[in-house]
Amino acid sequence: MNKTWNNKAWFLVLPVLLLVAFSAIIPLMTVVNYSVQDTFGNNQFFWAGTDWFSDVLHSDRFWDALVRNLIFSFVILAIEIPLGIFIALNMPKTGIGVPVCLVLMALPLLIPWNVVGTIWQVFGRVDIGLLGHYLRILGIDYNYTQDPVDAWVTVIVMDVWHWTSLVVLLCYAGLVSIPDAYYQAAKIDGASRWSVFRYIQLPKMKRVLLIAVLLRFMDSFMIYTEPFVVTGGGPGNSTTFLSIDLVKMAVGQFDLGPAAAMSIIYFLIILLLSWVFYTVMTSQDAKS
């Protein structure tokens, strides 16, 4: 769309600017403030320069949480994206099945995140949970509160349960936009199922897939509530992701300096990822 240049549009944006600035910029300035100062209580602060930053960047704790979070994000992407595409390809295209599938599949997306945690906490328990109980009967020694591997599996399966539907719905939205003529042409050419997918469906899904990958990566990168409810970051620190670690440090131990420095580093990573997202979105918008 051709947009006209009009600086008066600023007046329309002003309320948003003020509101979000109050919620975003003031708190961020506080964080920046803490990240370069040290205190011995009594509200007396001393300039600490970049000490906290080098502390955080040299601490195993930060790198461990970051690596755990990256592994988690890549594992759930590797599962959710192909699974989502596969399910979207097999969804009904017409009839009563469409609304039924859409409604039932969207259900997990709309459940409060702490309840998602509660659901899986209960579901996986060996004494009262359906999953835990039957795994025990099958002779699998499963206990997510004791065993780090089981805790990881539980958190990953929970995330797959929670968010795969988003990938499905996005891919489905891309698939239904393909005109029927494309399939008929492919049929006349005698195209195989694979080449229909590779040369018709996949290119049409490219845009929504990009959105899906970026959204899933960013949201899994700041995951907090669900693993917090299920495992509380444990056993040990095995499921302590970046956000959980940060809250532990800031609210639990009240280590303001390191927590603020870590916040800034965390925020810069997010900023970089947002920029990738924005560039991709606007270049796609321009094309369409």
Partner 1 sequence: MSTSNVKRSWSWIVATLYILFLILPIYWLINMSFKSNSEILGNFSLWPQSPTLRNYMVIFTDPSWYNGYINSIIYVVMNTVISVTVALPAAYAFSRYRFLGDKHLFFWLLTNRMAPPAVFALPFFQLYSAFGLIDTHIAVAIAHCLFNVPLAVWILEGFMSGVPKEIDETAYIDGYSFPRFFVKIFMPLIASGIGVAAFFCFMFSWVELLIARTLTTTDAKPIAATMTRTVSASGMDWGVLAAAGVLTIIPGALVIYFVRNYIAKGFALGRV
Phi/psi region, residue 139 (left: phi>0; alpha: psi -120 to 50; beta: rest), is left
Decide: is 165 part of the binding site for partner 1 (CB under 8 A): yes
Minimal distance, residue 74 CB to partner 1, in Å: 18
Site for partner 1 in 52-71 (CB under 8 A): none
Decide: is 120 part of the binding site for partner 1 (CB under 8 A): yes
Listed ranges 39-47, 71-79, 104-112, 148-156: which one lies at the site for partner 1 (CB under 8 A): 104-112
Strand partners, 38: 46
Among positive and negative, which fits the CA dihedral 104, 108, 110, 112?
positive
Decide: is 118 part of the binding site for partner 1 (CB under 8 A): yes
Minimal distance, residue 107 CB to partner 1, in Å: 6
Cα separation, 244 vs 232, in Å, equals 8
Site for partner 1 in 167-186 (CB under 8 A): 168-170, 172-174, 183
User: Which one of residues 246, 257, 258, 261 is an interface residue with partner 1 (CB under 8 A)?
Assistant: 246
User: What does the DSSP assignment read for 158-214?
Assistant: HHHHHHHHHHHHHHHHHHHTS-HHHHHHHHHTT--HHHHIIIIIHHHHHHHHHHHHH
User: Which one of residues 10, 40, 47, 194 is an interface residue with partner 1 (CB under 8 A)?
Assistant: 10
Contacts with partner 1 by CB under 8 A: the residue count is 105
Site for partner 1 in 72-101 (CB under 8 A): 86-87, 89-93, 97, 99, 101
Q: Which helix (H) or strand (E) holds 70?
A: helix 60-89
Decide: is 276 part of the binding site for partner 1 (CB under 8 A): no
Site for partner 1 in 186-245 (CB under 8 A): 187, 208, 211-212, 215, 218, 221-222, 224-225, 229, 242-244
Cα separation, 258 vs 47, in Å, equals 14
**DSSP at 47:** E
User: Which one of residues 78, 115, 149, 202 is an interface residue with partner 1 (CB under 8 A)?
Assistant: 115
Nearest residue to 144 (alpha-carbon basis) of 233, 248, 246: 233
Decide: is 127 part of the binding site for partner 1 (CB under 8 A): yes
Cα separation, 133 vs 129, in Å, equals 6
